[in-house]
Amino acid sequence: MLNISRTTNFFKKIAAATIMAALLVTLVPVQVLVAEAASTIFTDSGVAVDRNTPYESTSIDVSGFSNLEVVLHYDSELLDKNDSFTYGWTDDGGEQVLGSVSGKDENASPGSATDEIGDKTEIFVAGAGTGKLFVRVTANSDEPADQMVIVTIDLMGDEEAPDPNLDATKISICHATASHQNPYESPKPDDGAKIVSGHGGHNGPVWFDGITVAWGDIIPPFTWYEKVGHGKDAVWEAREYLGKNWTAAGQAIWNNDCEIPPNNADLSITKVVSSETPFEGATVTYTLTVTNNGPAVTTSAVVTDPLAAGLTYVSASIAPTATAPLTWNLPVLASGETWTVDVVVTVGADQGGSSITNTATASGIPTH
């Protein structure tokens, strides 16, 4: 039997490109914020109101307050049982009449002393962030101009702790489209709570060339806050979002402003044979190792090994996608990662005394 001379070749493919530096995601410190106690939002005192002179406050901003409460102290002068006054809140959402008080003196007449003193308290929900308080007298007596009420009016509310989601660093995501030409778009950065509610269900894998199913959003990990309770008892509790598709492939797209990066990775491949001097008819194993030397992540690299004449394919530790030539579609390889496959072949019985050179290559496929 004659020995077979065996050599191995080394192939290296370099694709030059500029790769964006990895971006950092700023996470919000974990904390619990508690609402403050009820406070006075607005006050006005000693206001005289009659049918011809209704009361309307200046504009009051109630943003950031809950459990709004009107506290009204009134001193009714000459308000008989046919007369009344109403009070309430008006804003862009409409008018809310919160309460009314009717006169009680059936025999009241102009100039008589029939004061009625009392307090009213009403809790309401504002329809908009800014509005006005009002007090109006409705007089049905013979002398309507004499019917008067003097009021002191306060607007109270529970000042809520500010939503920490709104104060946090805005989070950028890659939102999946239905276009293979432009698989992702980058909406304006938003706060964490809105991302969880608006994009948390956009599931699916990271887009890749040839994908046949719907792909999902790419979202980095971050901390967001969920409000628990109401008013002065409310707290903001921290929640950790672990991210979506935050893999090497997903981060490569996110770091590239949500555009599919060109396959700019420095790939090298080595090929080692189990025996360089096999006998004809013998079985030998080639070990192919692909290394991504960076700097980019490779998302669609391919290894091909067209077996030289005199060699017959037997098996591989990773099944090839094609056998003529042997072809493997590599998984995502981050910078520094490797991929290895063992290929078993037999040497032809008629190859005695020959030298067989078998070359494998690793290359990137443009993603779009």
pLDDT of the chain along its 368 residues, tens only?
A: 323 433 333 222 222 222 222 223 333 333 444 444 468 899 999 898 888 889 999 999 988 787 889 999 988 766 777 778 899 999 988 899 999 888 765 554 444 445 677 888 888 888 778 999 999 988 765 555 556 788 899 998 877 777 777 766 789 999 999 999 999 999 888 888 888 888 878 899 988 777 889 999 999 998 888 888 765 667 788 889 999 999 888 888 999 999 988 766 788 899 999 988 888 889 999 999 999 887 777 777 889 999 888 899 999 999 999 988 999 988 888 778 899 999 999 998 887 777 777 787 877 543 32
Residue 279: phi and psi, rounded to 5, are -80, 155
Cis bond leading into 164, ω under 30°?
A: no
**Eight-class DSSP state of 58:** P
Range list of β-strands (E), 259-337: 265-273, 283-295, 301-305, 311-316, 322-323, 326-329
CATH 3.40.640.10 for domain 5-19+263-364: no
Compute CA distances 155 → 65, 126, 131, 134, 214, whole Å. 11, 12, 12, 12, 53
| Residue 253 burial (CB count, 10 A) | 23
The type of residue at 194 is K
**Eight-class DSSP state of 298:** B
- The Cα 8–Cα 232 span in angstroms is 75
**For position 162, what pLDDT does the model report?**
72
Location of structure tokens 């009625």: 116
- The Cα 27–Cα 16 span in angstroms is 33
**For position 119, what pLDDT does the model report?**
86
**For position 197, what pLDDT does the model report?**
85
pTM given for the model: 0.43
**For position 106, what pLDDT does the model report?**
53
Fold equal for 5-19+263-364 and 36-159: no
Query: What residue segments make up the domains of the chain, in order of their start?
Result: 5-19+263-364, 36-159, 169-228+239-255
CATH number, domain 36-159? 2.60.120.200
**For position 59, what pLDDT does the model report?**
94
Residue 199: phi and psi, rounded to 5, are -125, -5
